[in-house]
Structure 1
Amino acid sequence: MASCDVPLLGRISAGDGPTMGRRRQEGPSASMSPAFSLKESDDEFLAGARNRHVHVVDVPAPLSEVWAWLSADDALVSWSPLISGHRWTSPRPFGVGATRVVTLGHAVALTERFYRWDEQQRMSFSVESASIPGLRRFAEDLQLAATDSGTQLTWTFAVEGGRMLQPLLRAMDSVTKRITASIANGIVHRAGAPVGAGNE
């Protein structure tokens, strides 16, 4: 497992993906990928995962606009060069139980199910399946708060590997931190402002 994942993480962290002009919503290739089921994640996992990164981003845009970007058809792909595909698989309006498929670097497709959807406040999801083996649990939590200058976005990433992958995740924790920070910070580009964020 490790032999295939090290170069994969390296390509993603180096930005080896499509350019802004070529990024798109998910195409049919992801639907043909094999699916490896993950264990369901929850708030306890988000708070206590060993591989956990929290990024706090100040976005110079109204909260309602930031929420609209996060729930748009081109969410993620419109601001992160690391995300090569995004497709909602649930009809609007979205809520608890909504699903989507997100693809990283044309290499890893993740099927996500939202277990929390507090309109214009907070959204949390658990990854149900991945197109690569080795992941045990994977979840993200996004919280929004209005500020005098716009919106503060707190984005938490939590991942746990299986017996073979977990040592690799620990060893590459700094790489994972850069990858997740890039995704979280990228939304500021959509607002057309310089990027700046804190993180854990």
Structure 2
Amino acid sequence: MARMHALEPADAEFIASAPHVFRYQKRFAASPEKVWESLVSDESLAAWGPMITDVTWTTPRPFGVGTTRDVTAPGGSVMRERFFHWEDGHRKSFYVYECSLPMFKRFAEDYLVEPAGNETSFTWTLAVEPKPAFALPVKILAPVLKAGFGRIPAGGQKYFATHA
């Protein structure tokens, strides 16, 4: 297994004020209950497309604050996540406490699921603070990173268009 690097904890304030905050809003052709069910399923985001290859919940159900999971991306990079906010059916937030990539000082995400008529409004916010040695490369590559991460919620749109 790859060497893991410890990251600093993060919270809701960090998600709002990190050096790099990427926010995506999508409408999914599914009910909020269906979207939430997918987010907490065994596959979770891995079902939405190729940007996440595996999700392993490392805490037993029922999930809530303190829940942990491991998420694997293509190429084998792993993030170990701990949830610090959980409103079942509506919102959850986590920070990465260990990562196989040595570039992050702090990394956190927030998922918001809201009704939108017969559909769901999904807002995903990703917040990143690179380690000082990676600050300039991340700043330069921020538009590329935003586009790359944006493939995840776009994959969710496609997933729910065929799995509603």
User: Which runs of 4 or more aligned residues in structure 1 lie more than 2 Å from their structure 2 counterparts after TM superposition?
Assistant: none
TM-score (norm 2): 0.95
Letter in 2 for 1:91: P
Matches within 5 A, 1:11-90: 32-90=1-59
- For 1:181 and 1:189, the matched residues in 2 are separated by 13
- For 2:92 and 2:78, the matched residues in 1 are separated by 20
- For 1:81 and 1:133, the matched residues in 2 are separated by 23
Deviations 1:159-185 (Å, cap 9, x if unpaired)? 111111111110101111111211112
TM-score (norm 1): 0.78
- Which of 88, 96, 100 is the equivalent residue of 1:127? 96
Letter in 2 for 1:182: R
Aligned residues: 162
- Alpha-carbon distance, 1:66 to partner: 0.3
- Alpha-carbon distance, 1:192 to partner: 2.0
8 Å CA contact 2:28, 2:161 repeated in 1: no
- For 2:155 and 2:67, the matched residues in 1 are separated by 23
- For 1:89 and 1:39, the matched residues in 2 are separated by 20
- For 1:185 and 1:116, the matched residues in 2 are separated by 24
- Alpha-carbon distance, 1:106 to partner: 2.4
Matches within 5 A, 1:1-200: 32-192=1-161
- Alpha-carbon distance, 1:109 to partner: 0.4
Which residues of structure 1 form unaligned runs of 5+?
1-31, 194-200
- For 1:134 and 1:142, the matched residues in 2 are separated by 23
- Alpha-carbon distance, 1:147 to partner: 1.2
SS across alignment from 1:77:
helix
Deviations 1:20-56 (Å, cap 9, x if unpaired)? xxxxxxxxxxxx2211000001111100112111000
Deviations 1:117-160 (Å, cap 9, x if unpaired)? 10011000000000121210000001111111311011001111
- For 1:117 and 1:39, the matched residues in 2 are separated by 20
SS across alignment from 1:120:
coil
- For 1:82 and 1:65, the matched residues in 2 are separated by 21
What is the root-mean-square deviation in Å for CA atoms of aligned residues? 1.0
- For 1:149 and 1:171, the matched residues in 2 are separated by 39
